[in-house]
Each structure stands twice: as structure tokens, then as C-alpha cells.
A and B are shown apart, each in its own frame.
Chain A
Amino acid sequence: MYNPPMQVGASAAARTEVTRRRLLQSMMLVTAALALPALPPGALAAPLNADQKTTLLRVARDIYPHDDLLDDAPYQAVLDAILVEAESSPEVADLLSKGLADLEQRAQHIYKANYIAISKPEEREGVLRTIELTDFFQKIKGGLLMGLYNNKTLWPKFGYDGSSWETGGFIDKGFDKIDWF
């Protein structure tokens, strides 16, 4: 009969898991507590104004920050695609405007400031963590994941080579060269 021991590591992992779950649950409570009253049925979400668009760009840059590596363009390209979608989809428009309003309310609640006016990046990340499981946040995060990291034009900046068969692979291009140890 073998009964694997409960290891320190294992129970620590289990503890982290419990903590994580509690955290998620409490976040959802916060989400519920701070949720805005629903718009009356049939009310059309207004398109985003310039300030909201600026906030959205800040949010995008805070989701995957590359302060020195990337300018605004690739972030903006992802957001533009979502904004175009919002033009024909009331659901997406609604998701954006309500998501932003919710975010601002949280920023006010925690820091008494607009999101964009919170100067410390880690504090902005903290605010975003409280909405990370929302559809609004995941829509932007999902777009960025593909738009930044599955974007061939940006790969050189990250030092990733991408497709190599056209040029014969790396067999004659130093696939085995290493000198730092």
C-alpha cells in the first residue's frame, strides 16, 4: 500500500490554490458590489469619446507593458479593430462603455482619481486586477495577445525569428552555437 506523503511543497501549493480561489471569489464580490446599474433596455451605448479612447490605450499598454520596446501603434491597431467592431455591434459598444465606466468607478473608489491619473503603473495594474475576469477586460487582453505576440512585424523586436523553412532552417546558421558558459 503506498500513500504519497503530503509534502510541504504540495500543501504550500494547495494553500496558494485556496488563497487564489478566495481571492477570485472576493474579487467577484467586489465586482458585484461595484457593478453599475444596468442601462434601461433599448438604450444605445454612445460611441466612445476622445478621453475614453485615451484611457483605453492606457489600459492596453498596462495589460502588456513594453515601455521601451513598443510605441502606441500596435496597441492602437488592436483597439481600432475592437472599435470598428463596436460600430456594428451594440453588444461590443456596450461592453466597452460599461467596462470603462466600471473601471473609472473603481479607480475613484480606490485612489480618488481617474484611471489615467493614477501615476504608479503597479497601482494601475492593481485596479485592472480587480476586473481581470470581466468580458470587457478579456476582450482587450485577447486581442492584444494576438496583436502583439502573434504579430510577425513585431517578432524581430522580441528577438524571435519566426518562419525559417524558406531559408533552409538553421542547420547552417549556427543552431548549435553557444559560448557563454
Chain B
Amino acid sequence: MTAKFDLNDDSLVVIVGSGAGGGTMANELAQKGVKCVVLEAGNKLSLDDIENDEWAMFSKISWLDKRFSAGGWHGARNHPNLPAWIVKGLGGSTVHWAGVSIRFQEHEFKMKTTNGEVVGANVIDWPITLAELSPYYDKAELKMGTTGEVTGMPHLPWSADFKVLAEGARRIGYSKITAGPMSINSVERDDRPACQQIGFCMQGCKLGAKWSTLYTELPKAQATGNCEVRTNCMVLMIEHDKTGKVTGVVYADAEGKTQRQKARVVCVAGNSIESPRLLLNSASNMFPNGLANSSGQVGRNYMTHMTAGVYAVMPGEVHMNRGTAVAGIVRDEAHNDPKRGFVAGYTIEKLALGLGFLSAFLVPGPTGWGRKVSGALEKYKYMSGVWICGEDLAQEQNRIELHPTEKDQYGLPAPVVYKTDHPNDTNMRNHSYQQMEKIYNALGSTEIYNLPAYPASHNMGTNRMSEKPRDGVLNKWGQSHDIKNLFVSDGSQFTGSGSPNPTLTIVALAIRQAEYLAGEMQRGHV
């Protein structure tokens, strides 16, 4: 029973984007009887469209609309038009994601209190605490099927590749070594099968063993009869009335025709580049700097996590491609200890790449060629490697801006994505390189490759929550400080990035936001 709503129906919640944030909002609201429309810029794929092929899936699902990389990070040079690696399609980046589902640590909600002012950064505490979010983390894990205590689902079995990392980690004295939590079924659950160790999790899970809103939240929302999903619909701007309340959105439909959908509430969940871009592109006489932007913080404080890669040639065969892409996690450096030369912490995540991606990213960009690169690739089956994911401190100048002249295919100013490392990031990255060298040396490997950041798969912070309206865009519910019926429901809400991969927290926040929003609607407050 899929709903079909009228364009003039102004009783609806309009949700922009269908990924981790938007897809979850849709289902949570629909289950509560709140009528909603999801507008998704991308296509609908089915499991039949999913291939075990890195580049084929990259071109099928990536967001490849015009974008520019800027700032001091190497990507401004090496990935000039691919600042971020995220999805344009139904299900958003949950089609692509690897499934790592770690909760924030308590101190990661209050980095300002924990470390004081950090020179050159723009850090504030979250307006919520771990205690407040914990019940929603439980709900998120139950929803997503996260391995661990809450669901009772065991972690996935250790792959050979993870055993290599685990052994090296053990030899240097690490002990927080686990094959989860992952939102991947280790047993059949929620009408989805158990993982078969196919190994292309980031190309879309062919079996649906990995959680994605594409085949969980969205069809469940539609089945209630309270939710309509429209694909190939790119929202161009949000409109408001004389009082400043938002009244609906203007979008380009599948035929390229401009449509206007009325709304009682708008929830923006286009990921951390598109969400602030939409608010900035919705500037009006009343809001000349963009919607919800009295603080000037829309698009600012862009965080991607401090990331790095390390790959090494092992003395024996590994075949890292055999098994889940992220087969396990080491969390011995995730704590906050400024004595290491940086505040905050990082996780070490096993990450298998296929030959296609490894060849492009081992030494990324125009200078990545020559005997060293080709020699390493010949040893593919001996290689093992990790992705480092650490907290990235908010900096005001890391930002999304509208390009003054360049436009995308919809005629909207293209986004320019500025990212420059803070010295804290540099120190943390160097620390992780040193630790990984110890781990791989302990296994007898001496051929080690340090990779810089990939185009950002984790994008956060560009509409951050704040206690005080002058410090951020949203209150602790993800509701705009300026406009009561405008919400942001994706990772751009994050006040700080924490060290954990963001999706579990995005989903927990969306569950919490949906509860608040449904209540506020019932009380007639929005």
C-alpha cells in the first residue's frame, strides 16, 4: 500500500534524501502515523543491479555532480572534483557503507570540556550526552541488526585478513580487538540472510545481509501507507512564508520539470555537502545568507574524520579480498590522551580493497605510477591493510561554499568543499602511521605504504547542533534555532565528529528526532 500525496498537501513532512538520516526518519515517522514524502535525487537500484566490481559500482551509484575540492588537503590537487565519496541513489550512502557501527564515547560529546580550547579549532560540546542518546543507540542497533549485546547477534567470524591485523596488534600489546560491532547479519535476521563473506560490502551487499535503508527502512515506511518515496527528484530550494516558517520545497522531477511540494515540516538529510548547500541556495530577501543561518555557521565546521590508509606486504599469503571489507576493528588508540601529541583518538579498521581501488589509491593522483607502485600491486595476495578513522576537530574555515560562477546540471551554484588539516590531525595521522609500522613490523613485514586520506566517505558538522544559537545551526533535537518547522536529520548535525564511524549515531539521532517531531506536531507546536 504505497501512498500518493498531493503537491498541495500542506500537512506533510517532506524529507530531503533517503540515506541513513532521511530513510530512518521516513520509517520512524510513518510507523507513528505521520504522513511524509521522501524526495531523493538519485535512482532506485535493486539487488540485481549490484555487481562485485569496484569501478562499475562507483560509476553506478556515486554522487558525481559537479563539485570542487579546495583547501590544504592533498585532494585539492589529487581529487579536484571528488571531495567526497558518497552516493546519489535511493538508500543514499547506506548502499555503499561498510557497516561499522560504533557508539560515541562519553567524552566525545564534550570535547571542549575535556580538553579546553584547542588553538585554531572551533570545538564546542554537543548539547546532548551519551546518557541521553544511549536508549536511542539501543533502538538503532535493534533496527540495523548490529552485532553485539543489544541484538544478541554474534560478531562475524574472523577472516584470515583480520587475523593478520589482530596478531600484529596483539604482538605490540593491544587488546581491544573485535570483529564488530557491524550492522551485518551474522545470522539470518529481519528477513535478511546471513553474510556469505562475499567481500564487496562497499559496492552494495548483493544479499542484503548488510543494513541499508534501501531494503529496510524505506520499504517498511512505504508499507505503512504513510510514506511516499519519489526518486530522481532533486530538491532545489526550500521556501518560506512572511513569518519565516518553511512552506515547502521546489524540486526538479524525473522529467526535469520543476515541481512545488507543500509541507508542514521539512527535514533536510542530503548529507553534509548537499544539506548546507540547499540551505545556502534557499537564500531569500528575509534570509539573505541562507535559511537557518543567523549564526553564519551553515556550511562551516565541515569534518571528514582524520583518515589515513596503511597497506603492507606480508611474509605469507593473505587474500584480503576474501571476506567482509571491514572484517574487524582495533580500539586501543580510541581514547583521549593529549600526551600522544594530539587530543581525541582514532580506531584502526581492517579495510580490504580490490586491485582496482588499490591501484588508484596506493599512491593517489597524477604521481601514482612507476616501479614501486606496480611492484607492490604484483604482491596483491600478500597484502593486508587498514583504514584509520579518528576524530577531526571542527574548524570554521573548513566549509562548503557556493561557487561564484560554476553551476551543476540543475543550474544551481556548485559546491566548493574546503578542507585543511589541523596540526592535531597531522600529529594523530603520524601517530597512526607509527603504530601501524610497529604492528606490521611485528609480523615480519617491511614493505609498508602510508596512504593519505581518500575522498571523504564520512561527512559531518556543516549544520551543527549547539546549546547557544550563535554557535551553531540546530538545537539538541536537530531543529533549526531560527525556523521551528525546519529540521536537519543527517550527519551534518554533528557537533563533533568523534572517532566512531558516523552512521549508527546518525540513525540514533534520527530515531530520537522523529519521536520529538511527532510529539511536537501532536502538541501543535510545529
- Taking Cβ atoms with an 8 Å cutoff, the residues of A that contact B are 1-7, 9-10, 13-14, 63-66, 69, 121-122, 125, 128-129, 132-133, 137-138, 141, 145-146, 148-150, 155, 158-165, 168-171, 173-181
Contact = CB atoms under 8 A, between A and B. Distances in A.
B223 interface: no
A164 B157 contact: no
A66 B355 contact: no
Contacts of B342: 4
Given A7-B427, A162-B52, A150 B323 contact: no
Given A2-B115, A165-B52, A181-B443, A65 B371 contact: yes
Q: Is the interface of B mostly helix, strand, loop or mixed?
A: loop
Given A4-B427, A63-B369, A181-B443, A160 B355 contact: yes
B244 interface: no
Chain B contact-residue range equals 35 or more
Contacts of B338: 2
The list of the 5 closest CB pairs from A to B, nearest first, reads A180-B316, A159-B381, A169-B196, A163-B52, A149-B359
Contacts of A69: 378
B303 interface: no
B116 interface: yes
Interface string B304-329: 00000000001111110111000000
A150 B118 CA distance: 44
Contacts of B125: none
Nearest to B356: A150
B316 A181 contact: yes
12 contacts: A4-B422, A5-B341, A7-B426, A9-B431, A69-B378, A150-B55, A162-B53, A162-B354, A170-B322, A176-B160, A178-B163, A181-B443
Contacts of B160: 174-178
B51 interface: yes
Interface in B108-151: 115-119
B177 to A, nearest CB: 15
A66 B427 contact: no
B159 A176 contact: yes
B356 A149 contact: yes
B196 A168 contact: yes
Nearest to B196: A169
A1 B377 contact: no
A179 B316 contact: yes
Given A2-B118, A5-B427, A158-B381, 14 more contacts: A1-B116, A10-B423, A64-B369, A132-B366, A137-B366, A145-B359, A150-B55, A155-B355, A159-B380, A160-B321, A164-B200, A179-B316, A180-B314, A181-B316
B355 A176 contact: no
Contact of A176 (B158, B207, B358, B431): B158
Interface string B60-71: 000000000000
A23 to B, nearest CB: 10
B427 A170 contact: no
Interface string B342-356: 110000000000111
